Amino acid sequence: MPHSLRVHPVIMCGGSGTRLWPVSRKAHPKQFTQLLSGGSLFMRTLGRVAGAGYAAPILLTHQDFRFVVAEQLAASGVDGGRIVVEPDGRNTGPAICAAALIIAETDPDALMLVLPSDHVLRDDAAFHRAVEAGSRAAATGALVTFGIRPDRPETGYGYIELSPGAEGEVLDFARFVEKPDAARASEMLASGRYLWNSGMFLFGAGAIIDAFEKHAPAVIAAARGAVAAGREDLDFLRLSAAEYLGSPDISIDYAVMEHVAGKVVPVECGWNDLGNWRTVWQESAPDDAGVVTEGGAIALDCEATLLRSDDPDVRLVGLGLQGIVAVATRDGVLVANMDRAQDVREAVTALTSAGARQATEFPRHYRPWGWYETIGLGDRFQVKQIVVKPGARLSLQSHVHRAEHWVVVAGTARITVDQDVRLLTENQSIYVPLGAVHRLENPGKVELRLIEVQSGVYLGEDDIVRYEDDYARG
């Protein structure tokens, strides 16, 4: 895209969808997971808007994901991105409004391109052509959305109805339409007057602010307060919770776009929202029998089936299956009819009702310094594997209810226990008594890996008293 049409990407990466359980969960949702080749969906989105014509992105995320966003941003090689942290999700309306206010602080005439971070686009060239066309319209003050030309009667997407007689590369639209049933979706496809709602938008920062002022004053009042009272925290901008959570929970569609004479750019760019396992199957190049296998999965005499195992120690074998999705992780297995792929969130609801941690949590927990996972748990004891990135360290902390024993199995650890500071290498260990002030660091150039054995009456993660922390966690 030419430099004259430079736009500011605003990437929405705070969602926690459940329709791709067990691979996507609240603790680590689909945008940060590698579902297809080429990196996570978030990283693929970053790369799509990292070329000429695009400014450094604004990344809107939930506070729980701020460190994984920072890590994947760094891994992508994209420079200058600004991470804006929402205290909690209030839908796309308040988030986009806050981003517009932030951009307008330095350039009220800037164009902003709003993108979900969890969609697939196979044809980046077609996408850039659509952005260029939309930029020309947005430069005149238009509020632009992007519609995908449908190729099937899809019931899982919302639609945009074109105005009668609309022609050209940038069109008038009449209204947004909610997800239809199958019969209505077939009628809409046959009419040729409907596009899928992609959730992508392009407009001037000043223009969308004016639209919020007119059509959603409560949203912009909350967003203004949240930005004004926001605070810098390490490399993040934290929106003020008191003001932000006072906003209505509303989408940009309902807040603004349904009330304006906006424009839509039709685009054919191989778009897919990857909203369920059927769409993952479609995007994963099924073989001649319609079978996709991923990880440690084997298909025998199967048709139209997706088999995926994300754990190398879990071998998934499908025999004589047709129209089935089977996905296995270390601690959860989903088996579903392909026709019920839209309903996987019902499984998550059932797990939540049963009190199963698998509904939202993974065995592996990611932290800004690395990760840990529980490999053994019993009455009054827990065994974890801990991996610390080179140069990283945990907080200086103590525990009220547990003692710990650390055994280094790879790398070198610098360990503080009260006034004692020492280096430990492979096969060396140390005991951390209950109540001792301690810290774990990796001073080396390779990963530090150790086994932690906890013992005590309470082993929850909230039994941490922090005295110093590189990551400003409370």
CATH, residue 191: 3.90.550.10
Q: Write down which residue in 225, 249, 272 finishes a domain.
A: 272
Mean pLDDT calculated for residue range 25-42: 91
Task: Report whether pLDDT(473) > 90.
Answer: no
- Over 90: is that where the pLDDT of 472 sits? no
Instruction: Classify each residue of 137-173 as buried b or exposed e, where b means 16 or more C-beta atoms within 10 Å of its C-beta.
Output: bbbeebbbbbbbebeebbeebbbbbbeeebeeebbbb
Burial pattern 39-66, b for ≥16 Cβ within 10 A else e, equals ebbbbbbbebbbeebbbebbbbbbbebb
Q: Are residues 409 and 422 in the same domain?
A: yes
Report pLDDT for 37.
82
Query: In the prediction, which pLDDT does 236 show?
Result: 93
Residue 474 has pLDDT above 70, yes or no: no
| pTM for this model (two decimals) | 0.90
Residue 473 lies in a domain: no
Domain total of the chain: 3
Q: Would residue 406 count as lying in a domain?
A: yes
pLDDT in tens, 135-160: 999 999 999 999 999 999 998 899 99
Query: How much of the chain exceeds pLDDT 70, in percent?
Result: 99
Q: Evaluate whether residue 344 is within a structural domain.
A: yes
- pLDDT reported for residue 18: 84
Question: Which range (35-44, 165-174, 427-436) has the least confidence?
Answer: 165-174
The answer to whether residues 243 and 345 belong to one domain is no
Residue 431 banded pLDDT, cuts 50, 70, 90: very high
Least confident of 176-180, 208-212, 321-325: 176-180
Q: What is the mean pLDDT of residues 190-199?
A: 95
Q: Which of 272, 299, 331 is the last residue of a domain?
A: 272
Same domain, 19 and 135: yes
Give me the amino acid identity at 221. Answer: A
Q: Is residue 359 part of a domain?
A: no
Q: Residue 292 has which token pair?
A: 């996709």
For 95-133, what is each residue's pLDDT tens digit? 999 999 999 999 888 999 999 999 999 999 999 999 999
- Which residue range forms the structural domain that includes residue 403? 364-468
| Angle, helices 217-228/92-104, rounded to nearest 10 degrees | 60
In the listed set 272, 296, 329, which residue is the last one of a domain according to the structure?
272
Residues 151 and 194 in one domain: yes
Q: What does the pLDDT read at residue 5?
A: 52
Q: Is residue 474 part of a domain?
A: no
Asked whether residue 305 is assigned to any structural domain, the reply reads yes
pLDDT band at 265 (very low <50, low <70, confident <90, very high): very high
* Same-domain check for residues 80 and 223: yes
Q: Is residue 256 part of a domain?
A: yes
> CA-to-CA distance for 161 and 192, rounded, in angstroms?
9
* 285/213 same-domain check: no
Residue 2 has pLDDT above 50, yes or no: no
Q: Residue 451 burial (CB < 10 Å; 0-12/13-18/19+)?
A: middle
Mean pLDDT (whole number) for 21-36: 93
Pair (95, 192) in one structural domain: yes
**pLDDT of 3 strictly over 50:** no
- pLDDT of 233 above 90: no
Tell me the pLDDT of the chain averaged across its residues: 94
Q: What is the CATH number of the domain that holds 453?
A: 2.60.120.10
Indicate whether 324 and 456 sit together in one domain: no
pLDDT, average across residues 300-306: 98
Of the chain, the percentage scoring pLDDT greater than 90 comes to: 88
Residues 370 and 399 in one domain: yes
In a domain, 75, yes or no: yes
Q: Are residues 268 and 284 in the same domain?
A: no
Please indicate, yes or no, whether residues 313 and 374 belong to a single structural domain of this protein: no
Q: At what angle do helices 66-76 and 41-48 cross, to 10 degrees?
A: 50
Q: How confident is the model at residue 393 (pLDDT cuts 50, 70, 90)?
A: very high
d(CA 292, CA 285): 7
Angle (nearest 5°) at CA 14 between 13 and 17: 100
Q: Looking at the structure, do residues 290 and 175 belong to the same domain, yes or no?
A: no
